């Protein structure tokens, strides 16, 4: 089971994103400053008094089409109800109780999910009495806070954590390879999953589904166990917010975090879209092994260069993932779909590959000779030695004279050298420079 979810809801401008940022603090995601990778802050990991949870800012959900009044807030509330274990309902204590607050409250009451009511923008103790009028919403004692000044947020989190269901980190079956299918709506994710379920032995799972119906389905092929992660999310249809991009991204992120392998599914007919890049950015962040599945290959008019051209296109759109293999498949005909499982097995192996320290340091030494490390203001970066700190994904620490002298481009170069020497196909690798005085 993944960590419990807390969702912040409330009408516009009550301070949802301010509170969201305050709760997650300054923790930056790893790829946030990688050029070309866009992402939105809508979802992040939070922690309070040692209790971990996932936090969603439903205010980040937007809709393309203008709709009747109140529709957006209804969608946001519905999202919170569907995804969250505890709902943090935020209102504006200075603005006072509004019709929209009542509207949201009615929705939340019907859901029977636990709700914590926070009354924001009460920046001084003398304002706290303004929270009383919100008693009428029917969620017990309103908690006064100031997200901007960081006051009262601890009281809110105390209450939230109290209401969270207890959970144990999932006992991961180490022998199984966990696969998440991600991509835009209609690229064929559920068709691929259905095809795999149809062609392989599906094991009955005795793992209870969570409240968020994140059902994982184990299958067996050639004595290897695979788990298709969040098959319910992939196959579910017809909810009002299904087509809302950020929602599907959110769902995908949660699946990727529980996966060893992410298949980024691309529609061969429609090509690559902006959303695919965002999803790829999240996949990089999640640290799983990654491959592209170009689906609907049956529907494309092909000559001997078509696959090559498509490959070039993927490489140019995802320059930081040149190491991710590409497989052309068809869920419709079944072409190469079972190859995808073999591929998953191969790249999952690379995800946990360890290299010998001696071999690593030979590569680093050679790399320094071939391309000299950068200099800043007459000072040159010196690499002393490296060590592999962890796997999943492989992470290397390189001790240097001054980590401030390192450049993104030089780290990229070292990454390429490591890949050339050791393979690592299909897995991200991370390099950290540490000053050794």
333 marked as binding residue = no
Q: Is 91 annotated as a binding residue?
A: no
Q: Is 50 annotated as a binding residue?
A: no
The CB-of-173 to ligand GDP minimum distance in angstroms stands at 25
Quick one: 15 or 373, whose CB is closer to ligand GDP? 15
Q: For residues 161 and 264, which CB has a smaller minimum distance to ligand GDP in the complex?
A: 264
Record the tokens describing residue 141, joined without a space. 């004692």
Pick the closer one to ligand GDP by CB: 233 or 394.
233
Shortest reach from residue 8's CB to ligand GDP, in Å: 8
Positions touching ligand GDP (CB under 6 A) are: 10, 12-18, 59, 120-121, 123, 146-149, 183, 185-191, 234, 295-296, 298-299, 330-332
CB atoms within 10 A of CB 319: 9
Here the tokens at position 379 are 């000072």
Instruction: Please tell me whether 87 is known to bind a ligand.
Output: no
Residue 232 annotated in ligand binding: yes
Q: Looking at beta carbons only, is 330 or 427 nearer to ligand GDP?
A: 330
Is 14 part of any known ligand binding site?
yes
Contact by Cβ (8 Å): 405, 384: no
Q: Please give the helix or strand (H or E) that residue 383 lies within, else none.
A: strand 383-390
Query: Annotated binding residue at 378?
Result: no
Nearer to ligand GDP, 119 or 414 (CB): 119
120 among annotated binding-site residues = yes
User: Rounded to whole angstroms, what are the CA distances from 35 to 31, 160, 281?
Assistant: 8, 36, 10
Q: Which residues contact 191 (CB under 8 A, 6 or more apart)?
A: 295, 331, 332
Cβ-based nearer residue to ligand GDP, 93 or 287:
93
Closer to ligand GDP at the Cβ: 12 or 220? Answer: 12
CB of 84 to ligand GDP, least distance (A): 16
- Please count the other Cβ atoms lying within 10 Å of the Cβ belonging to residue 166: 6
* 58 annotated as ligand-binding: yes
Query: Shortest gap between Cβ of 16 and ligand GDP (angstroms)?
Result: 3
- 11 assigned ligand-binding residue: yes
Max Cα–Cα distance, the chain, nearest Å: 75
Instruction: Answer yes or no: is 303 a known binding residue.
Output: no
Nearest-angstrom CA–CA distance, 214 and 401: 47
Q: How far is the CB of 156 from ligand GDP (least distance, A)?
A: 12
SS3 334: coil
- Integer Cα distance of 179 and 258 in angstroms: 9
What H or E segment, with its residue span, contains residue 120? strand 115-120
| DSSP secondary structure letters along 199-238 | HSEEPPP-SPP-TT----EEEEETTEEEEETTHHHHH---
Beta-sheet pairing, 289-295 with 261-267: parallel
* 365 SS3 class: helix
CB of 58 to ligand GDP, least distance (A): 9
**CA-to-CA distance for 42 and 21, rounded, in angstroms?**
10
State which residue, 119 or 400, has the beta carbon closest to ligand GDP.
119
Strand positions, DSSP E, 232-372: 261-267, 289-295, 326-328
CB of 195 to ligand GDP, least distance (A): 8
**Residues forming beta bridges with residue 92, ordered by sequence position:** 120
Least distance between ligand GDP and beta carbon 326 (Å): 15
| Closest distance to ligand GDP from the beta carbon of 425 (Å) | 25
Min dist. Cβ of residue 432 to ligand GDP (A): 33
Q: Which residues of 100-137 are buried (b: 16+ CB within 10 A; e: fewer)?
A: bbebbbebbeeeebbbbbbbbbbbeeeebebbeebeeb
Q: Is 194 annotated for ligand binding?
A: no
Select 235 or 345, whichever has its Cβ closest to ligand GDP: 235
> Residue 103 CA to chain centroid, in angstroms?
31
Cα dihedral 64→183→262→272 (10° resolution): -110
Q: Establish whether 10 is an annotated binding residue.
A: yes
| 3-class DSSP assignment, residue 177 | strand
- For ligand GDP, which is the closer residue by CB, 160 or 294? 294
Q: Which residues are annotated as a binding site for GTP?
A: 10-17, 57-61, 120-123, 183-190, 230-234, 295-298
């Amino acid at each position: 089971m993944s960590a419990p979810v807390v969702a912040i809801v409330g009408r516009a401008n009550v301070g949802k994103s301010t509170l969201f940022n305050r709760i997650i603090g300054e923790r930056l995601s790893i790829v946030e400053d990688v050029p070309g990778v866009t992402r939105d802050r809508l979802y992040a990991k939070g922690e309070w008094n040692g209790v971990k949870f996932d936090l969603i800012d439903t205010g980040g959900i937007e809709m393309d089409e203008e709709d009747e009044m109140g529709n957006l807030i209804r969608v946001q509330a519905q999202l919170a109800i569907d995804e969250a274990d505890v709902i943090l309902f935020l209102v504006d204590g200075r603005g006072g109780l509004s019709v929209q607050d009542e509207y949201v409250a009615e929705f939340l009451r019907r859901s029977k999910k636990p709700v914590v009511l926070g009354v924001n923008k009460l920046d001084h103790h003398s304002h706290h009495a303004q929270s009383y009028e919100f008693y009428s919403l029917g969620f017990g004692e309103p908690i006064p806070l100031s997200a901007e000044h960081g006051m009262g947020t601890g009281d809110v989190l105390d209450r939230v954590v109290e209401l969270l269901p207890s959970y144990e980190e999932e006992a991961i079956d180490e022998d199984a390879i966990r696969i998440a299918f991600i991509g835009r709506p209609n690229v064929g994710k559920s068709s691929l999953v259905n095809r795999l379920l149809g062609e392989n032995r599906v094991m009955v799972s005795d793992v209870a589904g969570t409240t968020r119906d994140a059902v994982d389905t184990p299958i067996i092929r050639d004595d290897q166990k695979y788990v298709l992660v969040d098959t319910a999310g992939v196959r579910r249809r017809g909810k009002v917010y299904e087509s809302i991009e950020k929602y599907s991204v959110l769902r995908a992120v949660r699946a990727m975090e529980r996966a060893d392998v992410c298949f980024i599914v691309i529609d061969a007919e429609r090509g690559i879209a902006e959303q695919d890049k965002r999803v790829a950015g999240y996949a990089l962040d999640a640290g799983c092994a990654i491959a592209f599945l170009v689906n609907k290959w049956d529907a494309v008019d092909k000559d001997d260069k078509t696959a090559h051209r498509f490959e070039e296109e993927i490489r140019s759109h995802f320059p930081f993932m040149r190491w991710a293999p590409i497989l052309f498949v068809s869920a419709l005909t079944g072409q190469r779909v079972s190859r995808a499982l073999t591929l998953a097995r191969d790249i999952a192996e690379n995800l946990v590959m360890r290299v010998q320290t001696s071999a690593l340091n030979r590569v680093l030494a050679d790399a320094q000779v071939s391309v000299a490390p950068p200099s800043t203001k007459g000072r040159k970066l010196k690499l002393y030695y490296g060590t592999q700190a962890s796997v999943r994904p492989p992470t290397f620490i390189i001790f240097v004279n001054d980590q401030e002298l390192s450049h993104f481009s030089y780290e990229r170069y070292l990454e390429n050298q490591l890949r050339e020497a050791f393979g690592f196909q299909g897995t991200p690798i991370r390099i950290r420079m540490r000053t050794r005085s």
